[in-house]
Amino acid sequence: MIKPHGADELKPLFVYDTEKHHALNKEAEELPSLLVTSATAANAVMLGAGYFTPLTGYMNLADALAVAESLHTADGLFWPVPIVNLNKDISSIGDAKRIALRDPNVEGNPVLAIMDIDAIEQVSDEQIDFMAENIFGTLDGDHPGVATFKAQGNILLSGSIQVLNFSYFQTDFPDTFRTAVEIRNEIAERGWEKVVAFQTRNPMHRAHEELCRMAMEDLGTDGVLIHMLLGKLKPGDIPAQVRDDCIRKMVELYFPPNTVMITGYGFDMLYAGPREAVLHAVFRQNCGCTHFIVGRDHAGVGDYYGGFDAQTIFDEKVPDDELLIEIYRADHTAYSKKLNKVVMMKDAPDHDKEDFILLSGTKVREMLGNGIKPPPEFSRPECAEILINYYQNLDS
């Protein structure tokens, strides 16, 4: 198992000591508190779970700008996306230097973390735009990531945090949410040495399933970590519980025992394409994975990124010595009617478009909404049944 990023061991910011946890919870009730954005809360969860090792809290403005521009903090740590606490209004905390951060995503807004404030900085609109354009490659307000980032506010709080709970992820997804600490421990318990990670925010169709098999076979790994995003998505994306059900059914029926770990992480989707692909690689290294699958239009949305921009960024912006995890580069995968199996399209140069079974996302959603299962070459029938039930319940 490889070392975490930038450290010899994981640095989760969750307070595991029971007595200390109790004392901090008691203290938090007396502290000035700030209701944070969903993005800030998700950052706290990832910091608490060890995914963002070696960070100790939220970045200051100098680090955030440096990361946006060069993928390095001001003191040289490689990091692809600013991890920030941006706000519109901080009047509730006055001049306090130690505050409680409250969760916007759970009823009653419980305390998520305690923060020691190092600095409070005003961020200009030009600096917000600079970061957004570097992170997302666009300032188009229709881009969901840009819209979310720019809506958070211009007041930046930086400093270390102590995390006291994992928001709704542990309660809503008890069988799936796992910290980086837990994933590393399970990999060790299974005796796996080489592990390839697969990122998903969607249900897995046959092409995704076969891609995991291809990567395991090509790399000679002991297993695959199917690691799904459990946080907030854009409208129209499939909810996490439905995806979870589909993936579990697929693994149960079509993968050998002890070859797949099904897990999830508590983060909101950025839709940042190449930058998010690098972030995904960083925190999969922190999970202990040796390899990470980066496919076509990884973490993309609309037509904002080229099909393979999320792969070329590793050549153009990621120095060879910055990450230990290795990238498995995947082409678009589809079922070949000529070969009667799923292939990477680049490996079938003698094929025409008509030789593949290709369905658009819109077409698939239309079929499922009408109770029609896509061809078995595209989607496992058992998974399609789960999705049909979901889409038909939307209309009822």
One digit per residue, the tens of pLDDT, for the chain of length 396 reads 899 999 999 999 999 999 999 999 999 999 999 999 999 999 999 999 999 999 999 999 999 999 999 999 999 999 999 999 999 999 999 999 999 999 999 999 999 999 999 999 999 999 999 999 999 999 999 999 999 999 999 999 999 999 999 999 999 999 999 999 999 999 999 999 999 999 998 888 888 999 999 999 999 999 999 999 999 888 778 888 999 999 999 999 999 999 999 999 999 999 999 999 999 999 999 999 999 999 988 999 999 999 999 999 999 999 989 999 999 999 888 888 888 888 888 888 889 888 888 766 667 878 888 899 888 888 899 999 999 999 888 765
Residue 152 pLDDT: 97
- Side chain identity at residue 143, one-letter code: H
Q: How many CB atoms lie within 10 A of CB 312?
A: 12
CA angle 376, 382, 385 (to 5 degrees): 95
- The whole-number pLDDT of residue 391 equals 87
Residues in contact with 82: Cβ distance below 8 Å, sequence separation at least 6, in sequence order: 59, 63, 64, 65, 67, 68, 131, 135
Are 71 and 278 a contacting pair, CB within 8 Å? yes
What is the pLDDT, as a whole number, of residue 395? 65
Contacting residues for 193 by C-beta, under 8 A, at least 6 apart: 1, 222, 290
Q: Residue 52, Cβ neighbours under 10 Å: how many?
A: 27
CATH superfamily of 176-395: HUPs (3.40.50.620)
Residues with Cβ within 8 Å of 183's Cβ and at least 6 positions away in sequence, in order, are: 225, 261, 263, 287, 288
Q: Residue 325: which H helix or E strand, with range?
A: none
Q: What is the largest CA-CA distance in the chain?
A: 69
Phi, psi angles (nearest 5°) of residue 293: -80, 125
Q: Which residues are catalytic?
A: 201-202
Task: Give the 3-state secondary structure of residue 217.
Answer: helix
Measured N-to-C along each axis, helices 309-316 and 274-286 cross at an angle, to the nearest 10 degrees, of 70
* CATH architecture type of domain 18-170: Roll (3.10)
Question: Residue 197: enclosing H or E segment and its boundaries?
Answer: strand 195-200
Report the pLDDT value the prediction gives residue 296, as an integer from 0 to 100.
Answer: 87
Structural domain spans, the chain: 18-170, 176-395
Name the 3-class secondary structure at 3.
Answer: coil
Strand partners, 272: none
pTM: 0.94
Tell me, what's the pLDDT at 360? 67
Q: Please calculate the CA angle 159-105-66 and round it to the nearest 5 degrees.
A: 35
